[in-house]
C-alpha cells in the first residue's frame, strides 16, 4: 500500500518493505490481528479509527498479501474477519522490534502502558525481535506472546497464519 508515493519497484528492499509496513495504521491493524482481534467492528473500537481509514488499510494489507479474509456467521449473516497469511506472520519480528525499541527508549505515560514480548517456550521476556534472549530459540507467532498491560494482566498468545485453504 503506497504511502506518499509508490515505492514498490525501488531497488532498496527497505523502501519496498516500507511501501507496505511504513504506515502506522497498518502496523496497528497487524497488531490487532496478531492479538486475535480480526473483526472490523472490534478493530475499529480498539484502534479508535475512522471506518474509511480502517477499510483502506485492511484492503491494502489484503492486496499486499499480509492478511486474508475469512467468512464467519454472526448469527444469521455471513461476515468477514481478517486473518494472517504466512507473509503477514513473517512480519512478526518487525512488530516485536518496534515494541522492544519503544519499551527501551520511550517513556510510558502510565504504569499500564507497557507491552512486552514473551517467549512462551521458556516464559521469559525477550529483548530481541527474532530470538529469545533467555534461551536462544527462534521466535514465531506460535511460540510468542505479547503482554500488553493495558489489555490484560497476562500474556496473550499470538494468532498464527490461517491454515491453507481456510481464507475466503
Interval 113-158: pLDDT, tens: 999 999 999 999 999 999 999 999 999 999 999 999 999 999 999 9
Residue 168 has pLDDT above 70, yes or no: no
Q: Is the pLDDT of residue 2 over 70?
A: no
Contacts of 141 (CB under 8 A, 6+ apart): 34, 84, 89, 92, 158, 159, 160, 161
**pLDDT cut 90: percent of the chain above it:** 80
Predicted local confidence at residue 165, as pLDDT = 43
Task: pLDDT band for 166, please (50, 70, 90 cuts).
Answer: very low
**Dist CA 151 CA 45 (whole Å):** 13
Does domain 13-87 fall under CATH 1.10.10.10? My reply is: yes
Task: Dump the DSSP string for 87-132.
Answer: HHHTTHHHHHHHHHHHHHHS--SSTT--EEEEETTTTEE-SSSSB-
Per-residue pLDDT tens digits for 38-72: 999 999 999 999 999 999 999 999 999 999 999 99
Q: Please tell me the distance from the alpha carbon of residue 165 to that of residue 168, in angstroms, as a whole number.
A: 8
> Who wins on pLDDT, 49 or 19?
49
Query: What mean pLDDT value characterizes the chain?
Result: 92
Q: 10 Å Cβ neighbour count for 45?
A: 11
pLDDT-derived band of residue 10, with 50, 70 and 90 as boundaries?
confident
Confidence bin at 19 (pLDDT 50/70/90): confident
pLDDT, residue 155, reads 95
> Mind listing the pLDDT tens digit for each residue in 62-117?
999 999 999 998 888 899 999 999 999 999 999 999 999 999 999 999 988 999 99
What would the grid cell of residue 41 be? 467492528
What residue ranges of the chain are covered by domains with CATH 1.10.10.10? Answer: 13-87
Amino acid at each position: 500500500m503506497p504511502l506518499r508515493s509508490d515505492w514498490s519497484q525501488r531497488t532498496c528492499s527497505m523502501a519496498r518493505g516500507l511501501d507496505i509496513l511504513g504506515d502506522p495504521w497498518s502496523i496497528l491493524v497487524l497488531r490487532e490481528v496478531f492479538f486475535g482481534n480480526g473483526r472490523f467492528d472490534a478493530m475499529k473500537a480498539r484502534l479508535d479509527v475512522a471506518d474509511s481509514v480502517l477499510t483502506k488499510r485492511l484492503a491494502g494489507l489484503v492486496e499486499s498479501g499480509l492478511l486474508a479474509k475469512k467468512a464467519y456467521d454472526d448469527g444469521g449473516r455471513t461476515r468477514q474477519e481478517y486473518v494472517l497469511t504466512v507473509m503477514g506472520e513473517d512480519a512478526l519480528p518487525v512488530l516485536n522490534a518496534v515494541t522492544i525499541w519503544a519499551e527501551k527508549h520511550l517513556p510510558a505515560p502510565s504504569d499500564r502502558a507497557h507491552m512486552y514480548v514473551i517467549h512462551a517456550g521458556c516464559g521469559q521476556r525477550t529483548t530481541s525481535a527474532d530470538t529469545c534472549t533467555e534461551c536462544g530459540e527462534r521466535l514465531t507467532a506460535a511460540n510468542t506472546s505479547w503482554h500488553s498491560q493495558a489489555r490484560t494482566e497476562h500474556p496473550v498468545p499470538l494468532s498464527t497464519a490461517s491454515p491453507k485453504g481456510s481464507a475466503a
